[in-house]
Amino acid sequence: MENNDELGQFEDGCEQMSKEATISRIKFSNIPCENFKYLFSLKTNIHPDISNDDYYNYINFWLNYNICGQNSDYTISVNEFYSTLQKHDSNFDSEKKLECKLYNISNDIFENMCILYNLYSNYSNIFKNNSVVCAERNTCLGYSNNCYNEYRRGLIKCLNKNLKFCKALNDFKNMYIMNNRNISSNIFNYSDLRVLPRDEDVLYEIYGGLNDWRNIIILTFSILGPMIGIFLYFYKVNKILIN
């Protein structure tokens, strides 16, 4: 986000809010509070063309990420954070645009969103605006390795075929492969990116290469299990029709 000087205009209420009993227990400094207010201000000042729902959904995720994602041992309601901030800064969101837009995201959906967020965040730490932006080769490689690991996490979750998430994961893969092919610097090149794992790589890792017959059975039923039920249903229906 912005530097501390630019965030200074958004500090109203943040320090007082941090002293509240429920807020003081979370690892959430004044600066993220100011970032939250700054992020909200961007909708009107810089991104009026983005739909309200899309933008507020992102703000909701960002708040979940910074509160719930970093405080697994103690979680408050995201809406409670918003209400407490409004209590200490009555000018913030005076039109109540966020009032019904903030909520704690369910764990599974939140994990999927975190994977995608981490993927794009790490990638943007390598390439941005058609340039290599990481300062050292090892740093760039670290971000590329992070992309590999997060993408692998996503592929494992896609064994359960969450179609919307899997499509978003595939969109990242296509971007990772196709974008910035001609971008290079003395520090890092497109060709230095770590190749993302394939579906079969993950299956091999999980099921031991299918060398064990028990693993073959497990994999077969994990894929065909739901289909077997469908086949039995059609068999019964067809039998009734024939009779």
Q: Where are the domains of the chain?
A: 4-88, 107-206, 212-243
The pTM assigned to this predicted structure is 0.73
Q: What is the mean pLDDT of residues 100-107?
A: 90
Both tokens of 125, joined, read 């730490």
- Could you tell me which residue, 88 or 3, shows the higher pLDDT? 88
Residues sharing a CB contact under 8 Å with residue 132, sequence separation 6 or more, in sequence order: 126, 140, 183, 184, 185, 187, 188, 189
Q: What is the mean pLDDT of residues 68-79?
A: 67
d(CA 175, CA 60): 25
**pLDDT bracket for residue 14 (50, 70, 90):** confident
Confidence at residue 233, expressed as pLDDT on a 0 to 100 scale: 46
Q: Is 174 helix (H, G, I), strand (E, B) or coil?
A: helix
Nearest CA to 154 out of 201, 193, 104 is that of 201
Confidence at residue 238, expressed as pLDDT on a 0 to 100 scale: 46
Confidence at residue 119, expressed as pLDDT on a 0 to 100 scale: 96
Instruction: Please give the mean pLDDT across all residues of the chain.
Output: 79
Confidence at residue 201, expressed as pLDDT on a 0 to 100 scale: 82
Amino acid at 239: K
- Do residues 81 and 67 lie in contact, with contact meaning Cβ atoms separated by under 8 Å? yes
- Do residues 192 and 143 lie in contact, with contact meaning Cβ atoms separated by under 8 Å? no
**pLDDT bracket for residue 173 (50, 70, 90):** very high
Asked whether residue 152 carries a pLDDT value surpassing 90, the answer given is: yes
d(CA 60, CA 113): 11
Residues sharing a CB contact under 8 Å with residue 197, sequence separation 6 or more, in sequence order: 148, 151, 152, 155
Confidence at residue 242, expressed as pLDDT on a 0 to 100 scale: 47
**pLDDT bracket for residue 53 (50, 70, 90):** confident
**pLDDT bracket for residue 115 (50, 70, 90):** very high
Q: What is the mean pLDDT of residues 3-30?
A: 71
The single-letter DSSP state of residue 131 is: E
Confidence at residue 195, expressed as pLDDT on a 0 to 100 scale: 96
- Do residues 157 and 115 lie in contact, with contact meaning Cβ atoms separated by under 8 Å? yes
d(CA 187, CA 185): 5
Q: What is the mean pLDDT of residues 183-201?
A: 91
